[in-house]
């Protein structure tokens, strides 16, 4: 079955990180995403990089964006596209002659999605950066970590992917929806500093009402002993998120804390923050009395808000993930499956990752170029 974006054509000017993630998301949902790689990246006869999961599901053409005929080829593609996404620093596509004005002149209905770290304007806009810098400036990094320790970068999930590529993909789909009513395109300015701030909206609300204090002292940031990760007897780890009173009581009952299983007396009031540090030590000692599998046997399938901490090689094999198809396999490589799910227009992975320029001829032909035009571009070395 076709995904919900079937029929939409999107050009992706190749980049790294959040741009390809947005391209992957749009492709997973059924859009035809054509990746435009730099001609210099093309290696004739190269094998597809099957482990490049972010590159799955779309074809690639190799184009010299600095060659006049290469630039014109991209603008020809723009004429038949619904959207374009790019992840260059501000001003780069303008200098290439492929900026928003150039493209919207050729296709007034085009959605032009821009992905940057700092945004299209501001004191930092033209400077280099990475995920850690963007989430630092947005204030989000300062909220992540344990009490008395430095902030902990959450991989590059918050800036590059959650606050970057996913926000860009959302913006493109919103733009396409609006264009279907207005008949007019527009420019999407997706910045990781903005997106990572947005992801922390709930925490900003908590701070305003006085419900959120210093890092590592709060309900969701390892401050609470009942919302924490603990090591087990065999060196594994388990997670507890027993916040609501009924779930907290279930955790207390099953672990034995309600019956003073460790002989240390009654458990204090759940919301007495002054007792949280001592209770965390007590809970840590208790969890270390059993292996991860033993805790799973006791707690899985209950309302204690519990789950084992699985490694990346374990997660695809867990019965819950297997039943739901949370992971899938493409050409022998395990991939996270497309998400979310739809009852009628089921998304699917369009194919394995491809190497730059793997489909230059066939894709250009499919997008309206004649065989003679493709041959001319090749002779001119505008495409590879």
CATH code (residue 92) = 3.40.50.10540
Residue 73 lies in a domain: yes
State the catalytic residue, choosing from 82, 160, 194, 221: 160
Looking at the structure, tell me whether residues 162 and 275 fall in a common domain. no
In a domain, 218, yes or no: no
Same domain for 30 and 85, yes or no, is yes
Domain that holds residue 290: 227-231+237-308
Statement to judge: residues 173 and 244 lie in one domain: no
C-beta separation of 144 from 156 below 8 A: no
Residues 155 and 27 grouped into a single domain: yes
CATH number of the domain at 252, please.
3.30.1540.10
Are 279 and 353 within one domain? no
* 255-260 long-range contacts, CB within 8 A, separation 24+: 255/286, 255/298, 255/299, 255/304, 256/286, 257/283, 257/286
- Of 63, 58, 122, 49, nearest in space to 89 by CA: 122
Residue 233, SS3 per DSSP = coil
Residues 22 and 145 in one domain: yes
130 is catalytic: yes
Split into its structural domains, the chain has a count of 2
Q: How far is CA 28 from the centre of its chain?
A: 13
pLDDT along the chain (384 residues), means of 10: 92 96 98 97 87 96 98 98 98 98 98 98 97 98 97 98 98 98 98 98 96 96 98 98 98 98 97 97 98 98 98 98 97 97 95 96 98 98 97
Task: Report pLDDT for 371.
Answer: 98
In this structure, the answer to whether residues 249 and 341 fall within a common structural domain is no
Using alpha carbons, select from 20, 29, 89 the residue that is nearest to residue 49: 20
The pLDDT assigned to 46 comes to 83
Pair 126, 248 in one domain: no
User: What is the distance between the alpha carbons of residues 51 and 131, in angstroms, rounded to a whole number?
Assistant: 22
Other beta carbons within 10 angstroms of residue 87's beta carbon come to: 26
pLDDT value for 1? 54
Same domain, 164 and 55: yes
Residue that finishes a domain, picked among 308, 336, 366: 308
Assess contact for 14 and 8: CB atoms under 8 A: no
The pLDDT value recorded for residue 313 is 97
Do 82 and 13 share a structural domain?
yes
- Tell me the C-alpha distance between 384 and 373, whole Å: 13
pLDDT at res. 116? 98
115 pairs with which residues across the strands?
190
Question: Residue 343: its pLDDT value, please?
Answer: 96
pTM, entire model = 0.96
Q: Is 335 a catalytic residue?
A: no
* 167 and 246 in a common domain: no
Q: Is residue 195 in some structural domain? A: yes
Residue pair 243/226 in contact (Cβ under 8 Å)? The answer is: yes
Q: What is the DSSP string of 173-194?
A: HHHHHHHHHH---EEEEEEHHH
Strand partners for 330? 333
**Cβ neighbours of residue 180 closer than 8 Å, sequence gap 6 or more:** none
Which is the catalytic residue, given 67, 130, 237, 318? Answer: 130
pLDDT attached to residue 44: 81
Q: Does residue 128 form part of some domain?
A: yes
Q: Is position 72 within any domain?
A: yes
């Amino acid at each position: 079955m076709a995904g919900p974006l079937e029929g939409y054509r999107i050009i992706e000017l190749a980049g790294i990180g959040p741009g390809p993630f947005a391209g992957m998301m749009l492709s997973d949902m059924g859009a035809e995403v054509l990746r435009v790689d730099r001609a210099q990246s093309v290696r004739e006869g190269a094998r597809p990089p099957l482990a490049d999961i972010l590159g799955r599901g779309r074809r690639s053409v190799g184009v010299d964006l600095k060659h006049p005929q290469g630039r014109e080829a991209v603008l020809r593609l723009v004429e038949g596209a619904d959207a374009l996404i790019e992840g260059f620093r501000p001003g780069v596509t303008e200098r290439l002659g492929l900026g928003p004005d150039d493209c919207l002149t050729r296709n007034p209905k085009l959605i032009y999605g821009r992905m940057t770290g700092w945004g299209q304007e501001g004191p930092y806009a033209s400077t280099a950066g990475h995920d850690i810098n963007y989430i630092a400036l947005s204030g989000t990094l300062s909220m992540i970590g344990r009490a008395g320790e430095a902030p902990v970068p959450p991989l590059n999930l918050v800036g590059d992917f959650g606050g970057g590529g996913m926000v860009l993909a959302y913006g493109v789909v919103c733009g396409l929806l609006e264009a279907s009513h207005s008949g007019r395109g527009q420019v999407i300015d997706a910045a990781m500093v903005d997106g990572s701030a947005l992801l922390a909206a709930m925490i900003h609300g908590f701070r305003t009402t006085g419900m959120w204090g210093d890092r590592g002292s709060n309900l969701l940031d390892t401050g609470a002993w009942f919302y924490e990760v603990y090591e087990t007897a065999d060196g594994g780890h388990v997670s507890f998120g027993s916040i609501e009173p009924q779930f907290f009581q279930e955790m207390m009952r099953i672990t034995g804390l309600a019956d003073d299983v460790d002989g240390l007396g009654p458990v204090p009031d759940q919301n007495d923050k002054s007792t949280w540090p001592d209770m965390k030590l007590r809970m840590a000692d208790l969890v270390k009395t059993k292996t991860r599998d033993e805790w799973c046997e006791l707690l899985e399938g209950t309302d204690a808000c519990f789950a084992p901490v699985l490694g990346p090689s374990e997660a695809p094999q867990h019965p819950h993930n297997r039943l739901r198809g949370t992971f899938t396999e493409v050409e022998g490589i395990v991939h996270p499956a497309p998400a979310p799910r739809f009852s009628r227009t089921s998304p699917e992975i369009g194919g394995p990752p491809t190497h730059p320029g793997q489909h230059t001829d066939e894709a250009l032909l499919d997008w309206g170029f004649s065989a003679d035009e493709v041959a001319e571009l090749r002779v001119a070395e505008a495409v590879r």
